[in-house]
Amino acid sequence: MRTLAALVAGTILAACSPQADGVKVENAWIRLPAVEGQPGAAYFTLQGGRESEALISVSTRAADRTELHESVQGEGGVMTMAPLQRIDVPVGGAVKFAPGGKHVMLFGVVPNVHAGEKIPITLHFASGRAVTTMADLAAPGAVR
Ligand SMILES: [Cu+2]
């Protein structure tokens, strides 16, 4: 039994180690659109690893297509969204995606996803690493 436990522990460690030094993705959630056909948005916090890294894209089966965006205040205080090609994640730093700031725009949200469920999203980084995490699906207008 002792041998089996050690073997299992070793397997778990081996499975975790590739991401141990990389960026961690925390508190991922998706805000569903109020109206079908409108885009949704995904948010999360990136915790920098031991090397600088950059987020370049996000994929999820919840949406046909995604874009990295940042909400910015334009002329006359009107909020607009600007696309981002990459988002740098500094060593040891945190980058928060949240309503009113950086977000992942989800176009073509599939109809069979509902608030209260969880769905995997995969974040792709410039180094070639990818991190998959479970995102909570939240109702339109939800704030966290
Ligand atoms: Cu947007």
Residue 83 C-alpha to ligand 1 middle, in angstroms? 7
Divide the 144 residues of the chain into consecutive groups of 10 and give the mean pLDDT of each group.
58 50 95 93 97 97 97 89 96 95 97 95 97 96 84
Residue 142 C-alpha to ligand 1 middle, in angstroms? 16
Q: What is the predicted pLDDT for the residue at 17?
A: 45
Q: What is the predicted pLDDT for the residue at 73?
A: 87
* Structure tokens given for 45: 């916090």
Cα distance between residue 37 and residue 108, in whole Å: 6
The kind and range of the H/E element at 75 are: none
Q: What is the predicted pLDDT for the residue at 62?
A: 95
Residue 62 Ramachandran class (φ > 0 left, ψ -120 to 50 alpha, else beta):
alpha
Q: Would strands 102-109 and 53-60 be described as parallel, antiparallel, or unpaired?
A: unpaired
CA 6 to chain centre: 33
Residue 31 C-alpha to ligand 1 middle, in angstroms? 12
Q: What is the predicted pLDDT for the residue at 80?
A: 92
Backbone angles phi, psi at 60, to 5 degrees: -155, 145
E-strand stretches of the chain: 24-31, 40-47, 53-60, 63-73, 79-83, 87-89, 94-96, 102-109, 118-125, 130-138
Cα distance between residue 110 and residue 83, in whole Å: 22
Task: Mark the residues whose beta carbon lies below 5 A from ion ligand 1.
Answer: 69, 81, 105
Q: What is the predicted pLDDT for the residue at 141?
A: 84
Q: What is the predicted pLDDT for the residue at 14?
A: 47
Q: What is the predicted pLDDT for the residue at 4?
A: 61
Place of tokens 């599939």: 110
> pTM, whole model, 2 decimals?
0.84
Place of tokens 């990389």: 22
Q: What is the predicted pLDDT for the residue at 40?
A: 97
